[in-house]
Amino acid sequence: MNTKEKLYQLCKEIVDQRLDEISKDIEDVQHSVNTETKNTTGDKHDTSRAMMQLEVEQKSKHLVESMKLKETLGRFSPKTSSTTAGLGSIVETSTAKYFISVSVGKLVIDEGMYFAISTASPIGELLMGKKAGDEFEFNGQKMKIVSVK
């Protein structure tokens, strides 16, 4: 498995894990909402149910966001490469290595440390369309693109 395939697989595992955790959380809260019995403190019961319902709604938003990450991963193949930075590219700069895919943070594999970023992130937007040798500035720091794969 090459570097890009390893990074892709790691991102996929992280997103799948998030989806599983959020789905389980929603299921647990929904179960609590459905099984809670009305007691003598009616207002307290109604407030508790409302808070649990808000929690389900919040977790549902996170679920939708995670599903979008999974969709993004499905939009490119880790087997393709390009000399121009875009979705699915590994971009090595003078300061760090980036995997333009989904925002899941720092990834460490045998080949080193990479940052999984989205195309919509500030650094992702700067990298899009760039090639090896291009220079750019990010947070007041000048950087040079060493390679794009």
pLDDT digits (tens, 9 = 90+) for 102-148: 999 999 999 899 999 999 999 999 999 999 999 999 999 999 999 99
Main-chain dihedrals φ then ψ at residue 130, nearest 5 degrees: -80, 160
Cα of 140 vs its chain's centroid, Å: 26
Which helix or strand (DSSP H or E) is residue 137 part of? strand 135-138
List pLDDT tens digits, range 72-114.
999 999 999 899 999 999 999 999 999 999 999 999 999 899 9
Residue 36's pLDDT band, with cuts at 50, 70 and 90, is low
- Which residues contact residue 34 at a Cβ distance below 8 angstroms, ignoring those fewer than 6 apart? none
- Element holding 73 (H helix, E strand): helix 42-73
Model pTM score: 0.86
Give one word for 65, left, alpha or beta, with left for phi > 0 and alpha for psi -120 to 50.
Answer: alpha
Helix axes of 42-73 and 3-35: crossing angle, nearest 10 degrees: 160
List helix spans (H) across 74-127: 122-127
Q: Give the pLDDT confidence score for residue 30 in this predicted structure.
A: 83
Band of pLDDT at residue 71, cut at 50, 70 and 90? very high
Using CB atoms within 10 Å of the CB of residue 57, give its burial: 0 to 12 exposed, 13 to 18 middle, 19+ buried.
exposed
